[in-house]
Amino acid sequence: MIVLGIETSCDETAAALVDDGRRILADVVLSQREAHLPYGGIVPEIAARAHLDVLDALIRDALAAAGIGLDAVDGIAATAGPGLIGGLLVGVMTGKGIAAARGLPFLAVNHLEGHALTARLTDGIAFPYLLLLVSGAHCQFLAVEDVGRYRRLGTTVDDAAGEAFDKVARMLGLGYPGGPAVERMAATGDASRFALPRPMLGRDGCDFSFSGLKTAVRQAIEALPPGPVAAGDAADLAASFQAAVTDIVLDRAGHAIARFRARHAASGTLVVAGGVAANAALRAGLAGLAARERMNFVAPPLRLCTDNAAMIAWAGVERLRRGLVDPLDAPARPRWPLDPDAPRAPGAGVKA
């Protein structure tokens, strides 16, 4: 079984072909970084147009890279949410068009489910497992019980971790996307120079908060000499910030592991996924925590942490083999939580 995956929810246009033997036959990603760079963040209208301009060619590229035609494809999976509605519509309409023209099943995939199931593509792990999903818009712990069955254990009450990285990068003049830039800067910095707060540390439960940390970084910058932040100061601030994020996440993860174990005593895998999972300091910290807790730890290769279509194609494979096919009027959904029963986090905004 081969599924074509399409990803257009944010600022990466991507197409991939994955089979049910967990092989990635093709995986092409085109970043819109250059188009958004002058604005210091993602402009939804520019993103939607850019997806429209390149998606058809990208799908052709993926088929060529895999050395197959559409006649060899068994299903079309497209990210249907959550994300920017203009981009989602481009991907969903393209996917539906191909499915209708070829008489193939269409799979409307939740982007977060793509991240959540990546560890089954890369490592073939069994359900259930504990997932830390950390991306630009999301920061949550989920018990992944089956395809389509996710129980949220904790989430951020304000910013997502990736959002905090992006905002700190902007304050330090490091550009966008911020996570990789902050990580590079942090490598040469002194993490002990700035005493930044660790919100929620030691508190019950496994919710997150990053806005106080972000404010503390801004105040530290304001206390520096006026003008652009000097490279040495930026490196020390980046390192201090990254260390604070890592401490917060590890503390929260300890609580999440306890909650997960209370329900799934026999199972022992911790998975990290989403763009921020590319951060080496965070990965190393989580690997250490998992070892201390005697848990198996899975972090996908960097390329499959940030947005891609292989994860969407794989979620399509998982859904198709369970017969979870979607109708051609399935909507694009800007907001689409993985666990619809989870209570709104206290203080949380409208983010999914």
Cβ-based nearer residue to Zn ion, 135 or 140: 135
Tokens of 165: 């990285």
Cβ-based nearer residue to Zn ion, 128 or 136: 136
Please name the amino acid found at residue 346: P
Which of the ranges 67-75, 89-97, 134-142, 224-232 carries the binding residues for ligand KG4, by CB under 6 A? Answer: 134-142
- Give yes or no for residue 136 binding ligand KG4 (CB under 6 A): yes
- Give yes or no for residue 286 binding ligand KG4 (CB under 6 A): no
Residue 84 CB, nearest approach to ligand KG4 (Å): 11
- Give yes or no for residue 165 binding ligand KG4 (CB under 6 A): yes
Q: Are 127 and 144 in contact (CB under 8 A)?
A: yes
What is the C-alpha R_g of the chain? 20
Tokens of 222: 């304001």
- Give yes or no for residue 179 binding ligand KG4 (CB under 6 A): yes
Site string for ligand KG4, 180-209 (x = CB under 6 A): x--x--------------------------
DSSP 195-253: ----TTTT-SSS-B--HHHHHHHHHHHHTSPSSSPPHHHHHHHHHHHHHHHHHHHHHHH
- Give yes or no for residue 135 binding ligand KG4 (CB under 6 A): yes
Which of the ranges 16-24, 163-171, 304-312, 343-351 carries the binding residues for Zn ion, by CB under 5 A? Answer: 304-312
Residue 180 binding result from ligand KG4, Zn ion, none, given CB thresholds of 5 to 8 Å by partner type: ligand KG4
By CB under 6 A, name the one of 137, 144, 157, 304 that touches ligand KG4.
137
Residue bearing tokens 């990466």: 12
Half-sphere exposure of 317 (CA within 13 A, CB side): 24
Distance in angstroms (rounded) separating the CA atoms of residues 71 and 76: 12
Which of the ranges 21-29, 58-66, 276-284, 285-293 carries the binding residues for ligand KG4, by CB under 6 A? Answer: 276-284
Tokens of 259: 């909650």
By CB under 6 A, name the one of 178, 189, 285, 337 that touches ligand KG4.
178
Cβ-based nearer residue to ligand KG4, 13 or 306: 306
Distance in angstroms (rounded) separating the CA atoms of residues 69 and 312: 19
- CA-CA-CA-CA torsion sign (276, 212, 144, 326): negative
Residues 304-333 that bind ligand KG4 (CB under 6 A): 306-307
Q: Enumerate residues 6+ apart whose C-beta is below 8 A from 307.
A: 7, 9, 10, 11, 12, 14, 29, 111, 275
Cβ-based nearer residue to ligand KG4, 10 or 270: 10
Q: Are 192 and 240 in contact (CB under 8 A)?
A: yes
Strand order of the sheet with strand 269-273?
A: 149-155, 139-146, 129-134, 269-273, 296-298
Site string for Zn ion, 120-149 (x = CB under 5 A): ---------------x--------------
Residue 68 CB, nearest approach to ligand KG4 (Å): 27
Residue 269 CB, nearest approach to ligand KG4 (Å): 20
By CB under 6 A, name the one of 6, 10, 73, 76 that touches ligand KG4.
10
Residue 284 CB, nearest approach to Zn ion (Å): 22
List 12's β-bridge partners, or say none: 31
Angle between helices 280-292 and 178-186 (to 10 degrees): 80
- What number of chain residues touch ligand KG4 (CB under 6 A)? 19
- Give yes or no for residue 162 binding ligand KG4 (CB under 6 A): yes
Residues at the site binding ligand KG4, with contacts judged by CB under 6 A: 10, 135-137, 162, 165-166, 177-180, 183, 274-276, 278-279, 306-307
Report the interface residues with Zn ion, using CB under 5 A: 135, 307
